[in-house]
Amino acid sequence: MVYDWQFIVLIIIAVLITGISKSGFAGGVGVVAVPLISLKASPAFAVAVMLPLLIVMDVFSLKAWWRHRVGSVLWLMFPPAVLGVAVGYLTYGRFDEELLKVLLGVFSILFGLWGLLKPFRGRVMPVWVGGLSGGIAGFTSFIAHAGGPPLNFYLLQCRLTREQFLATAVVFLAATNLVKLVPYGLLGLLNVANLTIALLLIPVAWLGVRLGLVIQKRLSGELFFRVILSLLILLGIRLIIDGWG
């Protein structure tokens, strides 16, 4: 892998956006990180570098949001998420880099469109939809740290307060990230080189969280959300072209 200036810029932007998202701002737009890094590196490298950074950010987020979590929703969605992670692990070796880019591109486009349109927001759904959403979130989180959109798909109709919504999402994603440590380690993704890069990027992650807190006071969250999701759709198209090319 060539660590040129384009790669460095992309990975810094990806980590900054993730940090902004982890501050509780902009609706979980950190989903853009892996597709962005994958423009200059393999998806496997992208998820491996981002996981330690996500866990570091989760530690700070949990302190702020833990007491607002909704336990009943977590118990419904987290066990299927563990199964989703297991499915991701068992099927991982069947995806070559080109196929992973195509799948990541498709997920990016679908998540971007859903985030912009939110067609099911406010609709009351049966309990099994929560379990299914949790399972899909576990799988997409494993392959691209993209558990937010499937999670939000169900949470948005649970009629939670803002604090409950954010807290439940933070705890769910933090727990799922910890579960992913085991299969990522078994797959050899958490090697010394990847962990070293992640360690060097921790200050960038912290800066992203701080920027998120500042931006909340000066910029419309909805505007930022739409800009990033539009970017996610464009990234998805580019990844599909690269994967098929």
Please, which pLDDT band fits residue 108 given cuts at 50, 70 and 90? Answer: confident
51-84 pLDDT tens trace: 999 999 888 778 878 898 999 999 999 999 999 9
Look at residue 216 in the predicted model and tell me its pLDDT: 65
- Reported pTM: 0.82
SS (H, E, C) the chain: CCCCHHHHHHHHHHHHHHHHHHCCCCCCHHHHHHHHHCCCCCHHHHHHHHHHHHHHHHHHHHHHHHHHCCHHHHHHHHHHHHHHHHHHHHHHHHCCHHHHHHHHHHHHHHHHHHHHHCCCCCCCCCHHHHHHHHHHHHHHHHHHCCCHHHHHHHHCCCCCCHHHHHHHHHHHHHHHHHHHHHHHHHCCCCCHHHHHHHHHCHHHHHHHHHHHHHHHHHCCHHHHHHHHHHHHHHHHHHHHHHHHC
Please tell me which residue, 108 or 175, carries the higher pLDDT value.
175
Please tell me which residue, 166 or 232, carries the higher pLDDT value.
166
Q: At what angle do helices 127-144 and 162-186 cross, to 10 degrees?
A: 50
Please, which pLDDT band fits residue 224 given cuts at 50, 70 and 90? Answer: low
The torsion angles phi and psi of 220, rounded to 5 degrees, stand at -65, 125
Q: Rounded to a whole number, what is the distance in angstroms from the first to the last CA of the chain?
A: 19
Cβ–Cβ under 8 Å, residues 156 and 120: yes
As a whole number, mean pLDDT of residues 114-131 equals 76
Residue 116 has pLDDT above 60, yes or no: yes
Look at residue 17 in the predicted model and tell me its pLDDT: 86
Please tell me which residue, 4 or 72, carries the higher pLDDT value.
72
- Segment of 78-82, 96-100, 214-218, 228-232 carrying the highest mean pLDDT: 78-82
Which class for 122: exposed (0-12), middle (13-18), buried (19 or more C-beta within 10 A)?
exposed
Look at residue 86 in the predicted model and tell me its pLDDT: 97
Residue 22 has pLDDT above 90, yes or no: no
Look at residue 135 in the predicted model and tell me its pLDDT: 95
Cα distance between residue 152 and residue 170, in whole Å? 11
Residue 26 has pLDDT above 60, yes or no: no
Cβ–Cβ under 8 Å, residues 78 and 172: yes
As a whole number, mean pLDDT of residues 120-143 equals 84
Residue 167 has pLDDT above 90, yes or no: no
Place of tokens 């993209």: 146
Amino acid 122 reads G
Q: What percent of the chain has a predicted confidence (pLDDT) above 70?
A: 89
Residue 211 has pLDDT above 80, yes or no: yes
